[in-house]
Amino acid sequence: MVILSIIGWLAIVAGCIAVWVGLSDWEVFWAAMGFSSIVSGILFLALDKGLSLLAEIRDALTDHDQAGVDAGADAEDEPYF
Instruction: In whole angstroms, give the CA distance from residue 49 to residue 68.
Output: 28
Instruction: In whole angstroms, give the CA distance from residue 74 to residue 1.
Output: 35
In one letter, which amino acid is 40? S
Instruction: Tell me if 81 is assigned to some domain.
Output: no
pLDDT by residue for the chain (81 residues), tens digit each?
A: 799 999 999 999 999 999 999 999 899 999 999 999 999 999 999 999 999 999 999 999 997 655 555 555 555 666 665
Domain with 6 in it: 2-75
Number of structural domains in the chain: 1
Instruction: Tell me if 80 is assigned to some domain.
Output: no
What's the distance, CA 14 to chain centroid? 19
User: What pTM was estimated for this model as a whole?
Assistant: 0.72
pLDDT computed for residue 1 by the predictor: 79
Instruction: Tell me if 69 is assigned to some domain.
Output: yes
Instruction: Tell me if 45 is assigned to some domain.
Output: yes
